[in-house]
Amino acid sequence: MKLFVDTWGWIALANREEPEHLRAVECFERSKQSTGLVWTSNFVLDETLTLLFLRTRPTDALLFANRLMHSPFIRVETVTEERFRNSFELRTRFADKPKISFTDLTSMSIMKELDIENVLTRDAHFMHVGLGFRQLPA
């Protein structure tokens, strides 16, 4: 099972107080065992690191961030110029859905490119676009 981890997913994994923490860990571990990797993007990590340091103690945020950044199981996909343009095409296509963040559109673009259907998120926008994504935990 290929899995893309969205910002919510990283925050849920980092925060043991998050109500869905254990379910997020289960999804993460299942994917890691299945494929040996989980995917995310530099844009998602930008959001994640910002929120981690805002919401948790700096020492906890730094510990989680270091583990995340040095994990051999996490593949960080870069939003290149081409991916940015593809994401803008999605923005145009989904202009009627203005609440979808551009970061989410970049994630969707990467997921389609890499044929990843599963996303660790609580962001329903991934379901609203009709691109075949599956939100986990279900």
| pLDDT given for residue 80 in this prediction | 97
| pLDDT given for residue 77 in this prediction | 98
| Number of domains forming the structure of the chain | 1
| Cα separation, 86 vs 52, whole angstroms | 28
Stretch 36-48: mean pLDDT, rounded? Answer: 97
pLDDT beyond 90 at 138:
no
Chain segment 43-65, per-residue pLDDT in tens: 999 999 999 999 999 999 999 99
Give the CATH number for residue 122.
3.40.50.1010
Boundaries of domain holding 10: 3-136
Burial class (CB in 10 A: 0-12, 13-18, 19+), 56: middle
Chain segment 60-87, per-residue pLDDT in tens: 999 999 999 999 999 999 999 999 999 9
Chain segment 100-133, per-residue pLDDT in tens: 999 999 999 999 999 999 999 999 999 999 999 9
| pLDDT given for residue 66 in this prediction | 95
| pLDDT given for residue 121 in this prediction | 96
